[in-house]
Amino acid sequence: MKAGSNLEKVLSKGLFAVTGELGPPKGNDISVIKRKADLLRGVVDAVNVTDNQTAIVRMSSIAASNFLIQMGLEPVMQMTTRDRNRIAIQSDIFGATALGIKNMLCLTGDHHTFGNQVDAKNVHDLDSIQLIDCVRTMRDNKTLMGGQEKIEGEIKLFIGAAENPFGDPFEFRAIRLAKKAAAGVDFIQTQCIYDMNRFKEWMKMVRDRGVHEKCHILAGVTPLKSGGMARYMAKNVSGIIIPDEIIDRIVKAKKPAEEGIRLCVEQIQELKEIDGVHGVHIMAIEWEQMVSRITEMAGLSPRPALE
Amino acid sequence: MIKAEQKPVDEILKYLEPYNKILLAGCGACVTVCHAGGEKEVSLLASTLRMARQKIGKPLEVIEATPTRQCEPEFALELSERVANVEAVVSISCGVGVQTVVRHFLKTPIFPGVNTTFLGETMVHGVWEERCQACGNCVLEKTGGICPIARCAKQLFNGPCGGSSKGKCEIKRETDCAWQLIYDRLKALGQLHKMEEIIPAKRWGVESRDSGPRRIVREDLKV
C-alpha cells in the first residue's frame, strides 16, 4: 500500500470504485460541507474536494478535506498549480498529510480569468505533470523536489490526476496520460463523458500503450439536470463534447432531470464494461442528493467496507 | 521586437497638469515599428496635447524629439540641451527607454506616454502577437520552435490542458492553442517523440525575472 487509503484498497482489490465530488462553501459556513457530506457518506469510496474550482474563491481544499475526515468520509484533496508555487505546494502537502489526508489529485486548475478574482497573478510554477512528479518524489524518495532535502516524517499519498479525452489534439490525449503515468500517477479521473464513441476510442489508444495497467482509470460522469444545462455545457465549456442525440433526449424528455439520471446510469453501465475502466467519478454538481440514487440504480450500492 | 501602445491622452494630460513646457521624446527603434512612439506619433501626440491644453486656457509648449534609440546612452544624451530647457519629459519609448532617460537626467521629471506590452511579432499590418517572455533559458528546441511560456495562458510544459478545443485556447477563442501548434509542428517534422518526454520543472528562481533584475556582463566587449 502506498497510502493505505480506502480508495487505494478498493482499487487494489480489483473492485469497481466510485468517487464523488464536493465543492467547499464560498465562505466559512461548515454546514454546507456537513449537508453535502451527509448525502455522500457510505455512497462513494472517496470524495473529491475541489480547490477553488473555476477559480471561484472557496474554503481551502485542505481545510474542507479535514472536516470531511472528522465527519467520517474519505477526501481526495484536489490541488492546483494555479495558486501555489513549489514552496507552498510542498508545505501544504506536509500539513494535509499530517491532518490524515491520504488521496491527492494533481491539477493545473481552471484559468483564473474564469473566476471571481480576475486581477490575480497566476502562479503556474509547475504544471500538473511536474506536480505528480513532485508528490511522487516526496512519497517515494522521501525528499523535497530537487532531491536534496530529507523530509521529516512520511508522505503517504495515493496520487491522482485528471485527463480529458475530449480535449484536443485528440491523438495526443493518450500520450498525455502516459506521461502522467510515467510521472507516477496512481489513478486518473476523466472529464465527464457524454461522447461514448470518442471515450472508447481513447481507451483503446490507452490500452495500446499499456497505460491502463500502470494506473487506475475512473471514468467521469455528470448527470444532466435540464435541456438548458446540456445545451449550455455543449456550447460554452471547452473540452466537453455532448452529442446532439443526448441533448435532444434531455430536451424532449417530459421530466428532463429524471431522464438525466437514467442517462447517467446507462452511461455507468456501459463504462463498467470497458476494459481498463476501474471505476466511475460522479460529479453531480450542486446535485449531491442524486448520487445515492444513481449508485443504487447502477448496482454500485452498497460500497465495500474494507479494513 | 518590443511592442507598446500609447496611453490614454487624458492620463498623459493629468501627469502634465503642473507644467507649461515639456519635451516629448519618441524612439526610432521598436516603438517606431509598432506605430506607438516614432517620429510620426510624437508629432501627432504633441499636437493633441497642445490643442487640449489650449482649449482649457493653459497652453502647453511641446518640444519634439525622436532619438535613433532611446535605450542607448549616446542617443539619450543627444537630448541633454532640450531636457535642460523644459520642466518635464514625456517619453513614448518603451519602459527601457524611459529609464535610460531617467538615469541621465536626474533633476527632470520623466513620464511614460506608452504602455510597454510585450515582445512580439507582426502578424499583418496593425496586428502584433506576443512571442517571447525573455524567460532566460530558451526551450524552443524541445517545443518545435513555438514557445509555451509566452503562448500558453497557463505556461504548461507538458502538453495542452483540457481546454484546448479545435485548435483554440478556451481563455481567448481568437488565440491559437500553443500546444496544438507544437503538436502539429512536431508531427510535420516527424518529431512527435519529443512530446512524450517529461519536461522537468523550470528553474524560474535562478533563470528568470524571479531571481531579480538580470544583468549580462561581456568582458570581451567592455572598454
Is the same domain home to B90 and B169?
Answer: no
Which of B159, B161, B201 comes nearest A179 by C-beta? B159
Is the same domain home to B94 and B25?
Answer: yes
CA proximity to A282, closest of A206, A199, A218, A203: A218
Q: Are A81 and B155 in contact (CB under 8 A)?
A: no
pLDDT (0 to 100) of residue A155: 98
Per-residue pLDDT of B27-80, as tens digits, reads 999 999 999 999 999 999 999 999 999 999 999 999 999 999 999 999 999 999
Residue B218 in domain = no
Best interface-test mutation with B: which of A176, A177, A185 has the largest number of B CBs within 10 A? A176
Choose one of B118, B152, B187: the last residue of a domain. B118
Query: Which residues in chain B have Cβ-Cβ distances shorter than 8 Å to A145?
Result: 201
Per-residue pLDDT of B151-179, as tens digits, reads 999 999 999 999 999 999 999 989 999 99
CB-based contacts of A256, cutoff 8 Å, min separation 6: A224, A225, A226, A227, A250
Residue A304 in domain = no
Task: Say how many CA atoms lie within 13 Å of A294 toward its Cβ.
Answer: 34
b/e sequence B170-208, b meaning 16+ C-beta within 10 Å: bbeeeebbbbbbbbbebeeeeebeebeebbebbebeeeb
Q: Is B158 in contact with A126 (Cβ distance < 8 A)? A: no
Query: Which residues in chain B have Cβ-Cβ distances shorter than 8 Å to A165?
Result: none
Is the same domain home to B112 and B139?
Answer: no
Per-residue pLDDT of B82-135, as tens digits, reads 999 999 999 999 999 999 999 999 999 999 999 999 999 999 999 999 999 999
Is the same domain home to B197 and B112?
Answer: no
pLDDT (0 to 100) of residue A285: 86
Rounded CA separation B92/A103 (Å): 54
Which of A113, A130, A178 comes nearest B171 by C-beta? A113
Which of B154, B156, B170 comes nearest A238 by C-beta? B170
Q: Is B195 in contact with A166 (Cβ distance < 8 A)? A: no
Residue B127 in domain = no
Residue B137 in domain = yes
Bigger pLDDT: A238 or A299?
A299
pLDDT (0 to 100) of residue A151: 98
pLDDT score of B213 more than 90: yes
Q: Does A191 touch chain B (CB under 8 A)?
A: yes
Type of residue at B42: V
Nearest CA in chain B to A123: B154
pLDDT score of A284 more than 90: yes
Choose one of B87, B118, B149: the last residue of a domain. B118
Query: Which residues in chain B have Cβ-Cβ distances shorter than 8 Å to A172?
Result: 159-160, 179, 183, 195
Query: Which residues in chain A have Cβ-Cβ distances shorter than 8 Å to B156?
Result: 108, 124, 127
Q: Is A167 in contact with B196 (Cβ distance < 8 A)? A: no
Q: How confident is the model at residue A239 (pLDDT cuts 50, 70, 90)?
A: confident
* Strand B88-91 to B21-25 pairing: parallel
Q: What is the CA radius of gyration of chain B?
A: 22
Q: Name the domain count of chain B.
A: 2
Q: Is A239 in contact with B183 (Cβ distance < 8 A)? A: no
Rounded CA separation A304/B16 (Å): 74
Bigger pLDDT: A236 or A162?
A162
Q: Does A169 touch chain B (CB under 8 A)?
A: yes
**Owning domain of residue A266:** 6-297
Is the complex ipTM more than 0.90? yes
CB-based contacts of B14, cutoff 8 Å, min separation 6: none
User: CB-based burial of residue A223 (10 Å sphere; 0-12 exposed, 13-18 middle, 19+ buried)?
Assistant: buried
Residue A306 in domain = no
Rounded CA separation B83/A202 (Å): 67
pTM (two decimals): 0.96
Query: 6-65 in A: which are within 8 Å (CB) of B?
Result: none
Nearest CA in chain B to A107: B161
pLDDT score of A236 more than 90: no
pLDDT score of A127 more than 90: yes
Question: What CATH number did the domain enclosing A262 receive?
Answer: 3.20.20.220
Is the same domain home to B6 and B113?
Answer: yes
Residue B220 in domain = no
3-class secondary-structure state, position B63: strand
Residue B35 in domain = yes
Residue B202 in domain = yes
pLDDT (0 to 100) of residue B65: 98
Q: Is B201 in contact with A108 (Cβ distance < 8 A)? A: no
Region A141-168: mean pLDDT is 96
Q: How confident is the model at residue A103 (pLDDT cuts 50, 70, 90)?
A: very high
Q: Are A178 and A184 in contact (CB under 8 A)?
A: no
Region A18-39: mean pLDDT is 98
Rounded CA separation A71/A94 (Å): 22
- DSSP lists the bridge partners of residue B165 as B168
pLDDT score of A238 more than 90: no
CB-based contacts of B85, cutoff 8 Å, min separation 6: B21, B63
Q: How confident is the model at residue A141 (pLDDT cuts 50, 70, 90)?
A: very high
Residue A33 in domain = yes
**Owning domain of residue B99:** 2-118
Is the same domain home to B64 and B20?
Answer: yes
Q: Name the domain count of chain A.
A: 1
Q: Is A176 in contact with B167 (Cβ distance < 8 A)? A: no
Choose one of B55, B85, B118: the last residue of a domain. B118
pLDDT score of B201 more than 90: yes
Q: Is A238 in contact with B177 (Cβ distance < 8 A)? A: no
Query: 73-102 in A: which are within 8 Å (CB) of B?
Result: 82, 86
Spatial strand order in the sheet of B110-112: B61-65, B21-25, B88-91, B110-112
Nearest CA in chain B to A129: B158
Query: Which residues in chain B have Cβ-Cβ distances shorter than 8 Å to A130?
Result: 157-158, 198, 200-201
Q: How confident is the model at residue A237 (pLDDT cuts 50, 70, 90)?
A: confident
% of residues, chain A, pLDDT over 70: 100
Region A86-111: mean pLDDT is 98
Is the same domain home to B140 and B109?
Answer: no
pLDDT score of A99 more than 90: yes
Residue B64 in domain = yes
Residue B221 in domain = no
Rounded CA separation B120/B122 (Å): 7
Residue listed under C-alpha cell 477559480: A55
Residue B86 phi, psi dihedral angles, 5° rounding:
-125, 170
pLDDT (0 to 100) of residue A234: 93
Question: What CATH number did the domain enclosing B114 receive?
Answer: 3.40.50.2300
